[in-house]
C-alpha cells in the first residue's frame, strides 16, 4: 500500500518528535506519554512567550514615558539657559558701568594705589631677608593683605593700613641703625633648638653666645656651621657683654643672610685643610722637608760645637787635643817632628782629608732635598691638573668654582715644594758655610805647620 506525500511527512514528523522526546526525557516509554509531554511543553512555552511579550510592551511604554520626560527637561533647561545668558549680559553691562564709575571716582587715587602697591612689594622683598624680621616676625602677612586689597577691584585700603605701611618703612630704616639684644630661638649645627639671647647688629649680622648666626629662608636663626677666625669670635663676645660705648666687632656689609664676604671668609680652607689638599705627594714633600730641616739643624749644632772646640784648640796649639779635628791634625804634626816638608805636607793633607767627610756630612743630602722638593711639587701639580681635566671631561665646565677648587688643590703641591726647598737651601748654605770655615782653619793650620817645618830645615 503506497503512502501519500502528506503521510510521509507526518511519519517523519512523528519520528522526529519521537527522537526529540527520547533525547529530552528518558522516562517516556510509549508514544502517548511522549505526545502528552510534547503538549505540556507547548503549553508552557506559549505561556512564557505571552509573559515576555507583556514585559516588552510595558518596557516600551516606560521608555516612551522617559523620552517624553527627557524632552520636557531639555526644553526647561534650554529656557533656563536663555534666561541665564540674558541675565549674564545684563550683569556684565552693569559691572562695566560700575567699574567705570569706580575709575571715575578714584581719579588720582589710582596712581597713588599703584605707588603704594610697588612700595609694599619692595618692602615685602626687603623684609623677607631682613635681620629685623628675626626680632619682629610676621610683618609680611600684613603686607600681603594690603597688596591683595590694592590689587582687588572690590576692596580699598583703609587709612590705618596706609599709615602702617609708612610705619613699617620707617621702622625698617630706624632699626637698621641699632645694635639691640632680644630673646629668640637658635638652631644649633646639631639640629637642637635653644632659646637664648641674640644681638642684632643693624641689618648686617646676628650674634649669640659669641658665635655668628644666619637668618634662614624659613625665618629661623641658625649658627653657622663654620665660624670665622678666633679674633672675630672674641670681638663678638665682647659686643654681647658690652652695655655702652664703642666695641670693635667684625661685620659683613654684603648681606643679612651670612653675606657673600662672610661666606667666602669662613669657607676658605685654613692651612691644615690646604695641606691636606696636596694629597699623597704633599705628604711626601712634607716628610722630606721635615727630614731636611732636622738634618740641617742637627748638622748646624754639631758644626757649632766643632767650631767651638777648634777655636779653643787655636788658643793652645802646642798641646793638641784629639776631641776636635784641628787637635787631631796637630797631633799628626807633633807625631812626626823629624819628617821633611814634603812628607809632613802629605801626612797633614791626609789628616785633613780624613776629617773632611765628618765635617761635610749631610751637605749632599740637604742639596738633594732642596733640588727634589720643587720637582715633587711640580709632579703633584701635574697629577692634580690631570685629575681636574678628567673631571671636566666627564662633568663639563659648567661650575667655575669646582674647576677653581681643583686647580687650587693641584697648585698646593707646588707651594709645598717651594716652602720646603727655600728653607732647606738656606739651611744648606748655613751648614756649608760653617763646614768650610772649619776646613779653612784646618787647611790654614796645616799650611802654617808645613811652612814652619820648612824654615827649620
The packing angle between helices 279-315 and 363-395, to 10°, is 170
Report the C-alpha gap between 150 and 110 in whole angstroms: 9
Cell reading at 85: 545668558
DSSP β-ladder status, 179-187 and 221-223: parallel
Q: What 3-state class would DSSP assign to 27?
A: coil
From first to last of its 457 residues, what are the pLDDT tens digits of the chain? 344 444 444 444 444 444 444 444 445 567 777 677 766 666 566 777 778 888 888 888 888 888 888 999 999 999 999 999 999 998 988 888 877 776 666 666 677 777 888 888 888 888 887 888 888 888 888 888 888 887 776 677 888 888 899 998 898 889 888 888 999 889 888 888 889 999 988 888 888 988 888 888 777 888 888 888 778 888 888 888 888 778 888 888 776 554 567 767 777 777 787 888 888 888 999 999 999 999 999 999 999 999 999 888 888 877 888 888 888 888 888 888 777 778 888 888 888 899 899 998 999 999 999 999 999 999 988 888 887 787 777 766 666 666 666 777 788 899 999 999 999 999 999 999 999 999 998 888 888 888 887 877 6
Q: Which three cell numbers stand for residue 147?
A: 597688596
Distance CA 125, CA 18 (A): 101
Residue 206's DSSP bridge partners are 200, 213
Concatenating the DSSP letter of every residue in 48-88 gives HHHHHHHHHHHHHHHHHHHHHHHHHHHHHHHHHHHHHHHHH
- Cell numbers for 376, please give them: 715633587
The residue assigned the cell 685643610 is 273
Q: Domain boundaries in the chain?
A: 5-64, 107-175, 177-268, 277-456
Judge contact between 213 and 219, C-beta under 8 A: no
The CB-based long-range contact list for 330-338 (8 Å cut-off, 24+ gap) reads 330/445, 330/449, 333/449, 333/453
Task: For residues 236 and 195, give the distance between their C-alpha atoms in angstroms, rounded to a whole number.
Answer: 19
**Cell (9 digits) for 236:** 663678638
Please say whether the beta carbons of 156 and 186 come within 8 A: no
Which among 246, 257, 173 is positioned nearest to 212, based on CA atoms? 257
CB-neighbour burial class of residue 312 (10 A; exposed 0-12, middle 13-18, buried 19+): middle
CA 35 – CA 42 distance, rounded (Å) = 11
For 382, residues 6+ apart whose C-beta sits below 8 A from its C-beta are 410
Residues 6+ apart with CB under 8 A from 326: 309, 310, 313, 314, 320, 441, 442, 445
Q: What is the pTM of this model?
A: 0.54
Dihedral (Cα; 232, 235, 236, 239), 10-degree rounding: -160
C-alpha span between 194 and 211 (Å, rounded): 14
DSSP per-residue letters across 344-392 = HHHHHHHHHHHHHHHHSTTHHHHHHHHHHHHHHHHHHHHHHHHHHHHHH
Helix, strand or coil, per DSSP, at residue 278:
coil
Burial class (CB within 10 angstroms; exposed 0-12, middle 13-18, buried 19+) of 49:
exposed
DSSP one-letter string for 310-346:
HHHHHH-TTS--TTSHHHHHHHHHHH-TT--HHHHHH
**Most distant CA atoms of the chain, gap in Å:** 190
* pLDDT on residue 8: 43
Amino acid at each position: 500500500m503506497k503512502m501519500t506525500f502528506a503521510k510521509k511527512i507526518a511519519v517523519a514528523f512523528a519520528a522526529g518528535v519521537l527522537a526529540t522526546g527520547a533525547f529530552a526525557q528518558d522516562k517516556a516509554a510509549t508514544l502517548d506519554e511522549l505526545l502528552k509531554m510534547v503538549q505540556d511543553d507547548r503549553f508552557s512555552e506559549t505561556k512564557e512567550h505571552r509573559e515576555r511579550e507583556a514585559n516588552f510592551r510595558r518596557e516600551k511604554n516606560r521608555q516612551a514615558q522617559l523620552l517624553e520626560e527627557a524632552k520636557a527637561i531639555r526644553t526647561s533647561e534650554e529656557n533656563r539657559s536663555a534666561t541665564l545668558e540674558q541675565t549674564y549680559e545684563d550683569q556684565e553691562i552693569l559691572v562695566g558701568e560700575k567699574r567705570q564709575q569706580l575709575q571715575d571716582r578714584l581719579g588720582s587715587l589710582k596712581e597713588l594705589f599703584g605707588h603704594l602697591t610697588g612700595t609694599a612689594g619692595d618692602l615685602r622683598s626687603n623684609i623677607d631677608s631682613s635681620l629685623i624680621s628675626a626680632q619682629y616676625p610676621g610683618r609680611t602677612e600684613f603686607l600681603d593683605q594690603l597688596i591683595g586689597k590694592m590689587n582687588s577691584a572690590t576692596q580699598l585700603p583703609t587709612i590705618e593700613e596706609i599709615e602702617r605701611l609708612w610705619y613699617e618703612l620707617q621702622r625698617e630704616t630706624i632699626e637698621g641703625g641699632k645694635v639691640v639684644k632680644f630673646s629668640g630661638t637658635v638652631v644649633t649645627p646639631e639640629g637642637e633648638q635653644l632659646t637664648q639671647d641674640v644681638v642684632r647688629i643693624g641689618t648686617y649680622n646676628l650674634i649669640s653666645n659669641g658665635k655668628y648666626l644666619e637668618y634662614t629662608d624659613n625665618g629661623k636663626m641658625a649658627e653657622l656651621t663654620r665660624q670665622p677666625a678666633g679674633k672675630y669670635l672674641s670681638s663678638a663676645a665682647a659686643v654681647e657683654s658690652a652695655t655702652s660705648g664703642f666695641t670693635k666687632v667684625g661685620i659683613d656689609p654684603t648681606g643679612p643672610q651670612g653675606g657673600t664676604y662672610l661666606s667666602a671668609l669662613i669657607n676658605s680652607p685654613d692651612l691644615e685643610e690646604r695641606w691636606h689638599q696636596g694629597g699623597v705627594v704633599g705628604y711626601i714633600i712634607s716628610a722630606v722637608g721635615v727630614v731636611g730641616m732636622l738634618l740641617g739643624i742637627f748638622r748646624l749644632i754639631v758644626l757649632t760645637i766643632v767650631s767651638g772646640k777648634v777655636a779653643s784648640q787655636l788658643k793652645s796649639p802646642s798641646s793638641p787635643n784629639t776631641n776636635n779635628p784641628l787637635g787631631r791634625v796637630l797631633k799628626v804634626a807633633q807625631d812626626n817632628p823629624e819628617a821633611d816638608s814634603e812628607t809632613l805636607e802629605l801626612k797633614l793633607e791626609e789628616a785633613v782629608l780624613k776629617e773632611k767627610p765628618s765635617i761635610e756630612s749631610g751637605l749632599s743630602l740637604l742639596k738633594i732635598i732642596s733640588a727634589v722638593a720643587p720637582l715633587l711639587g711640580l709632579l703633584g701639580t701635574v697629577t692634580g691638573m690631570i685629575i681636574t681635566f678628567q673631571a671636566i671631561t666627564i662633568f663639563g665646565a659648567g661650575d667655575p668654582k669646582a674647576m677653581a677648587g681643583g686647580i687650587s688643590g693641584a697648585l698646593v703641591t707646588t707651594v709645598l715644594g717651594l716652602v720646603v726647598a727655600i728653607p732647606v737651601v738656606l739651611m744648606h748654605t748655613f751648614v756649608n758655610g760653617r763646614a768650610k770655615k772649619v776646613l779653612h782653619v784646618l787647611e790654614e793650620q796645616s799650611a802654617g805647620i808645613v811652612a814652619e817645618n820648612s824654615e827649620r830645615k
